[in-house]
Amino acid sequence: MDQLERDLLNNLQGGFPICAHPFQVLAERLGYSEDVLIEGVQQLIAKGYISRFGPLFNTEKLGGAVSLAAMAVPPERFDAVADQVNSFEEVAHNYERDDRLNMWFVVLASDEIALANVLAEISRETGLEVLNFPKEQEYFLELKLEVPE
């Protein structure tokens, strides 16, 4: 990992400028050009250091609904079912766990009815039961992982 990648990872995790030209502001702070930083983020994604770069919105405060869902997927079908689940634009992310409930994913929808419909459609499409685990209480945890020199 080079210095640019370290600088980006250490500065994209918190305090990212909220303005019309955030990469320009960050470039001035870090001593790079705006174009170099934008290309650097694209390279972080291409190299697999990060999976995406973008804002996180509080869906519920915007009037939407969000929930964590889980499924018990036969191991031989896991990749195919993951593709099916991930094809839904409402699925924010999906990950595997070493447990009977081995597929977990977050669903964001416009409201509770739309959320229920998405979960039902995923169940219909995959032929598997989808368990819904709606949030009972919210906690804010800020995690920033510094990349050392």
42: region left, alpha or beta (phi > 0 left; psi from -120 to 50 alpha): alpha
Is residue 98 within 8 A of residue 137, CB to CB? The reply is: no
d(CA 106, CA 101): 14
- Listed range (12-26, 48-62, 96-110) with the worst mean pLDDT: 48-62
Give the helix/strand (H/E) hosting 91. Answer: strand 91-96
Question: Do 94 and 82 meet the contact criterion of CB atoms below 8 Å apart?
Answer: yes
| pTM (two decimals) | 0.67
- The residues spanned by each domain of the chain are 3-46, 65-134
pLDDT confidence of 143, banded at 50, 70, 90?
A: confident
Q: What is the CATH number of domain 65-134?
A: 3.30.70.3460
Average pLDDT, integer, range 34-45: 96
**Most confident range, picked from 32-36, 59-63, 141-145:** 32-36
108 in Cβ contact with 65 (< 8 Å): yes
Q: Nearest to residue 70, comparing CAs of 95, 51, 88?
A: 95
- Residue 132 backbone dihedrals phi, psi, to 5 degrees: -105, 125
In sequence order, which ranges of 1-149 are alpha helices (DSSP H)?
Answer: 3-11, 22-30, 34-46, 78-86, 112-126
